[in-house]
Structure 1
Amino acid sequence: MSKQIQDAYIVAATRTPIGRSHKGYLRNTRPDELLATTLRAALAQVPGLDPATIEDVICGCAIPEAQQGLNVARIGAVLAGLPNSVGGITVNRFCASGISAVQMAADRIRVGEADVMFAAGVESMSMVPMMGNGPSLSPNIFSNTDDVDNYGIAYGMGLTAEKVAQQWKISRSAQDEFAYASHMKALAAMKAGAFTDEITPITVDDRSVDLDSAKVTVTQRTVNLDEGVRPETTVEGLGKLKTVFSARGSVTAGNSSQTSDGAGALILASESAIKRFGLTPLARFVSFASKGVPPHIMGIGPIEAIPAALRYAGLQHQDIDWFELNEAFAAQSLAVINTLGLDPSKVNPMGGAIALGHPLGATGAIRAATVIHALRRNNLKYGMVTMCVGMGQGAAGIFERV
């Protein structure tokens, strides 16, 4: 007997501050602990909810190995003190892992297989490098050096951004101005306290060594803001940076996303669970789409995914009040905005990954928390989280304030 499709609602949404990888304040914090922290914090937002009713923890992670391997979703659930009955599964769609986790959790509720679900994302780019500790691509990737699609897979995301900049005619100056705006919007949002509702502060340990006495001193501090924003950024300064991926290119470290550490978590519930536990829904999950594109221009993925998500929702892009478009690179962000005719004032009003950071598999969950709280704070109706995905994909998810 078929079940009627029901709505899935977000009843809690939080994230850690985002730290710079390798030298940032989360560099020594294990990703499974970051995940556990956000799971506990999200649960604390719904004190009336019985944790035993949670069906599963679905967690996105782009490089699920080492400290974030061995099914980090289940490990995070155990570390968070969730009941043993709560399962855990780790999913990987690279940069869209977090938003895919939200979509999968919502779908379990929508088809009636669960009433309460956790969706999350986590990534420590300090502890687990971009390609993992032992990358081993198929030799066939390199078998035809004239195949530009394979070239994009084998030699990195930066070259795909250069390809997009060339094909969509995105100038170096436009990229640098976009990057500058990202930092300034993020700085203004921080000063206004706009991130407060979505961020769970993290206590971190700082260690120092006295070489004479061979003693290690450990001090603790609490961090509650994203670490990547650079107030001193200027367009002129960005313009002086050397290109990174192509000597005659236009993509620099300054107009690219920052490698980062962080985690985010959401609790989704059915209408019956909301009534049963007296929960307050923050938003309704509306639709999701993922689309493939040529790997060598992977940055254009949202150009295909955004219209599909809108079509599934019966909406136009003009109906979306707030876009969280992951700024993998300024070049691809501008290509998406220009091609689809998006209103720039609605795109990343509080800055994006160029300023705030991009902890790969965590980003979708983190930006979902951002858009959900932004819709409520600004009394807006529809918000979208969208991003390009390595090896040629795009993803987009839509939320409605309730």
Structure 2
Amino acid sequence: MDDIEQTLDTYMQVELGHARQCSSGLQAFANVASAIQAGFYDVGIAAGVECMSLTDMGGTAPDVCWEQVHANKAARNCTVPMGITSENVAEKYGITRTQQDTFAAASHAKAHAAQEHGWFSREITPVTTTRTTADGVDQQVTVTADEGVRPGTTVDGLAKLKASFKPSGTTTAGNSSQVSDGAAACLVMTRRVAEQLKLPILGSFVSYAVVGVPPEIMGVGPAVAIPAALKKAGLTIDQIDVFELNEAFASQALYCQQTLQIPSHKINPTGGAIALGHPLGCTGARQIATLLHGLHRTNQTYGVVSMCIGTGMGAAAVFKRD
């Protein structure tokens, strides 16, 4: 490993930051991959990190935006709280509370099964840190698994939760993605360099698409972005083995699944953001890691990573197992 790190050092340049909210990790990958394809460099690391526990989740609320935003309806719609966009999708497209809770319970069940089988072990790097207990004692801990997975989550249990965003709503803390901290990174390079360094090649980046959708129903983004990415790849829905579809909310994930007619067994086979969490900057890179390791484990070929994006966007990318 030291030899590889020393060799990689010769390729290192400077860092570049960007932000595209929920797709930041995937956008980072697309930026690095496209620059490599253009010949700007041979090796890059696409990474994303988010500490949502330290973030003011109301930072884009209408009362803190410019006056000009309030005066423009299209711009004002970009400030609709994410939970309300979920309610809008559920109401507009008839996604019921029971459907959402069933989807959420399945996410936890799949993620728990994956943890029990050790399927995440190849993609998770343990993190050792120090925490202070309630008694004021510093304690060293090592985090080896995502902490949001709740074994035994049931539809009946989720049904007892109150709506989070409006009294008559169907979106709850239980059928929404979790507020999480996390980081993920993908090492991207030309095949020539990978072979030179004798590194295992997990897969190839095939295509990428970002689309715009009405911001007040931003959750429908993947239903538009996925067909766009597939068209660029010359593939159809039926040819994709696994869809890592970010579960910002069960309502929007269900809408996208139903609209694209994706079989349930192809959607997030090891759980999604409802169980694993959705650290915004991290998610896209995490999905890529989960997808490619999963394709190798199951000996499948094609996969898609996709997510909705606040302010009215959707992103999707197609990958092929090597």
| Alignment TM class, shorter chain as reference | over 0.9
Say yes or no: does 1:137 pair with 2:94: no
- 8 Å Cα contact 2:109/2:152 also seen in 1: no
Please, which of 330, 333, 346 is the counterpart of residue 266 of structure 2?
Answer: 346
Match of 2:26 in 1: 99
Say yes or no: does 1:294 pair with 2:219: no
- 8 Å Cα contact 1:49/1:277 also seen in 2: no
User: Matches of residues 50-129 of structure 1 in structure 2 within 5 Å?
Assistant: 50-55=7-12, 86-129=13-56
Please, which of 174, 191, 199 is the counterpart of residue 271 of structure 1?
Answer: 191
Instruction: Label 1:272 to 1:221 Cα distance change in 2 as closer, same or farther (>3 A).
Output: same
Cα offset for 1:136? 4.3
- 8 Å Cα contact 1:289/1:397 also seen in 2: yes
Counterpart CA distance in 2 for 1:279 and 1:204 is 29
- Structure 1: which amino acid aligns with 2:10? T
Say yes or no: does 1:229 pair with 2:157: no
User: Matches of residues 235-250 of structure 1 in structure 2 within 5 Å?
Assistant: 235-250=155-170
- 8 Å Cα contact 1:201/1:222 also seen in 2: yes
Counterpart CA distance in 2 for 1:318 and 1:239 is 33
Counterpart CA distance in 2 for 1:268 and 1:251 is 37
- Structure 2: which amino acid aligns with 1:234? T
- 8 Å Cα contact 2:164/2:173 also seen in 1: yes
User: Matches of residues 175-214 of structure 1 in structure 2 within 5 Å?
Assistant: 175-208=100-133, 210=135
Match of 1:38 in 2: none
Counterpart CA distance in 2 for 1:45 and 1:190 is 30
- 8 Å Cα contact 2:242/2:291 also seen in 1: yes
Match of 2:249 in 1: 329
- 8 Å Cα contact 2:126/2:143 also seen in 1: yes
Match of 1:40 in 2: none
Say yes or no: does 1:398 pair with 2:293: no
Counterpart CA distance in 1 for 2:203 and 2:249 is 29
SS at match of 1:391: coil
Identity of aligned residues (%): 47
Counterpart CA distance in 1 for 2:191 and 2:270 is 31
Deviates most, 90-99 or 231-240: 231-240
Aligned residues: 321
Match of 1:80 in 2: none
> TM-score scaled to structure 1, two decimals?
0.76
- Structure 2: which amino acid aligns with 1:110? Q
Cα offset for 1:130? 2.7
Deviates most, 190-199 or 123-132: 123-132
Q: CA RMSD in A?
A: 1.9
Counterpart CA distance in 1 for 2:53 and 2:178 is 12
- 8 Å Cα contact 2:32/2:46 also seen in 1: yes
Q: Which has the higher helix share?
A: 2
Match of 1:32 in 2: none
Q: Cα deviations across residues 121-148 of structure 1 (Å, max 9, x unaligned)? A: 100011223355999422222226xx4x
> TM-score scaled to structure 2, two decimals?
0.95
User: Matches of residues 39-58 of structure 1 in structure 2 within 5 Å?
Assistant: 47=4, 50-55=7-12
Q: Which runs of 5+ in 1 are unaligned?
A: 1-43, 56-85, 211-215
Please, which of 202, 210, 218 is the counterpart of residue 282 of structure 1?
Answer: 202
Counterpart CA distance in 2 for 1:46 and 1:181 is 43
Say yes or no: does 1:378 pair with 2:298: yes
Cα offset for 1:46? 8.5
Counterpart CA distance in 2 for 1:265 and 1:203 is 18
